[in-house]
Structure 1
Amino acid sequence: MGIVGQWDVRIKTPIGSITATYDFVDDGGALRGSATSTSETVPLEDITVGGQRVTWRQSVTRPMRLHLDFDVVVDGDRMSGHSRAGRLPRSAVTGVRRG
């Protein structure tokens, strides 16, 4: 699973950029994950890997309560893609795996 590891992620939203640390762990063949920002840590749900493409869902309460859907492509130690919160515009997502 190419996504396993710790990632520094930036999400460019309409209200500004948000940075978070994402952790993806192989738990006996099942993929688990969490996202940590300055204000909270939340679990990742429905993580799906298809080749280099990885999707997941998460909910946040800060800066506002949102349910987010992520769709990224992992290329080595970099990820890029987007997130979407309901009808809001897509937000660009980029990340770099920590060494």
Structure 2
Amino acid sequence: MANVDGAWNVVVKSPLGDQQSVFTVASDGSAFTGNMAGAMGSLDVEDGKVDGDKLTWKMNLKVPMPMTLDCEATVSGDAITGSAGAGAFGSFPLSGTRV
């Protein structure tokens, strides 16, 4: 099990307010799968990549409008920090702790 694996309680600070969810990560070499499940539903990780303690991935958001989020995060012990990029809407901070 890599240091990035597990479940994370995360918060994305979006224009619609704080979006709380559980982000699950299961790495396999330089790739990972998982999802982010919260009040607005569950989003699957697409094109998940692992580089040491750094994760990059995409998610296809459907609510409140269809868009692809470009995400990145770094794991440091039991903390995760990063961002979710929403194209023309900007980039939103993401942070959390291991469950």
Q: Return the TM-score normalized by structure 2.
A: 0.87
Question: How is 1:16-31 mapped onto 2 (pairs within 5 angstroms)?
Answer: 16-26=17-27, 29=29, 31=32
Aligned residues with identical type, % of pairs: 29
Give unmatched runs, 5+ long, in structure 1: none
List, as ranges, runs of 4+ consecutive aligned residues in structure 1 with deviation greater than 3 Å.
none
Cα deviation, 1:9-31, whole Å, max 9, x if unaligned, reads 1000123111111111246x552
Q: Return the TM-score normalized by structure 1.
A: 0.87
Give unmatched runs, 5+ long, in structure 2: none
Question: How is 1:8-87 mapped onto 2 (pairs within 5 angstroms)?
Answer: 8-26=9-27, 29=29, 31-87=32-88
Counterparts of 2:53 and 2:76 in 1: how far apart (Å)? 7
Which one-letter code corresponds to 1:76 in the other structure? G
**What CA RMSD, in Å, does the superposition of the two structures yield over aligned residues?**
1.5
Counterparts of 1:90 and 1:31 in 2: how far apart (Å)? 22
> 1:2 matched to which residue of 2?
3
